[in-house]
Amino acid sequence: MTLTKADLVQKVYQTHDLTKVQAIDAVEKFLSISKNCLENGEDLLVSGFGKFNVKEKKARRGRNPQTGDELILAERKVVTFKPSGILRDKINE
Amino acid sequence: MNKSEMIEAMSQELNLPQREASSIITTILDSMTDALAKGENIEIRGFGSFSVKDYGTYYGRNPKTGEQIKVKPKKLPFFKVGKELKEMVNQNS
């Protein structure tokens, strides 16, 4: 089983006095606010769940694993996630 | 951005009282936590996916004393950033 956006919409719809359209909108807004925050290079701290960081990676030399050709990997940003202690404990209960 | 800033943004964008926005966010995060606690994966298009990795017992060392210690089995959540978010984070660099 995999939890998807549709499952989140269903949960919000069942537990709140909202129409289905409003529930969809709520989940979409939650995701777009999160994405915009990270897009601006800002960290996202969700207490009780975890922390999303944007890390800058410097350019480095790498290799094409298939051909062995050397190439330069341009600098880029990556998103990392660090689970909170509460989330870790719940997963290990 | 932290959770209270997120609640404020949600409340404004959805035109709902902060209490309601906060409750919606809690429902979304609780659903995600419950899924991971059950060992389920989460897949949210455009944002990313979460999976739970199982670690068996292994022997590690206390880096300070060099003493060998047994590390108990544990589970840890992993986040893999989605294509859309990955591109968003990199576009204005």
Q: pLDDT tens digits for B49-69? A: 999 999 999 999 999 998 999
For chain A, what is the domain count? 2
Q: How far is A70 from chain B (nearest CA, A)?
A: 23
Topology of domain B3-91, per CATH?
A: HU Protein; Chain A (4.10.520)
Residue B91 has a pLDDT of 85
Kindly state whether residues A32 and A56 are assigned to the same domain: no
Structure-token pair, residue A89: 């404990």
CA B70 vs CA A41, A77, B92: distances in Å: 39, 36, 46
Q: Which domain holds residue A22?
A: 1-40
Q: Could you read off the pLDDT of B68-93 as tens digits, one per residue?
A: 999 899 999 999 999 999 999 998 55
DSSP labels, B35-93 = HHHTT-EEEETTTEEEEEEEE--EEEE-TTT--EEEEPPEEEEEEEE-HHHHHHHHHT-
Within-domain flag for A46: no
For residue A63, the domain's CATH number is 4.10.520.10
Q: What's the token pair of residue B7?
A: 């609640």
Distance from CA of A20 to the nearest CA of B (A): 13
pLDDT tens for chain A, 93 residues long, are 899 999 999 999 999 999 999 999 999 999 999 999 999 999 999 999 999 999 999 999 988 888 888 888 889 999 999 999 999 999 998
Per-residue confidence (pLDDT) for residue B92, from 0 to 100: 59
Smallest Cβ–Cβ distance between A8 and the set B2, B31, B36 belongs to B31
A60 and A86 both lie in a single domain: yes
Output Rg (C-alpha) for chain A, integer angstroms.
19
What value does the mean pLDDT take over residues B5-28?
A: 96
ipTM of the complex: 0.89
CB contact under 8 A, A4 and B44: yes
Write down the pTM of the prediction: 0.89
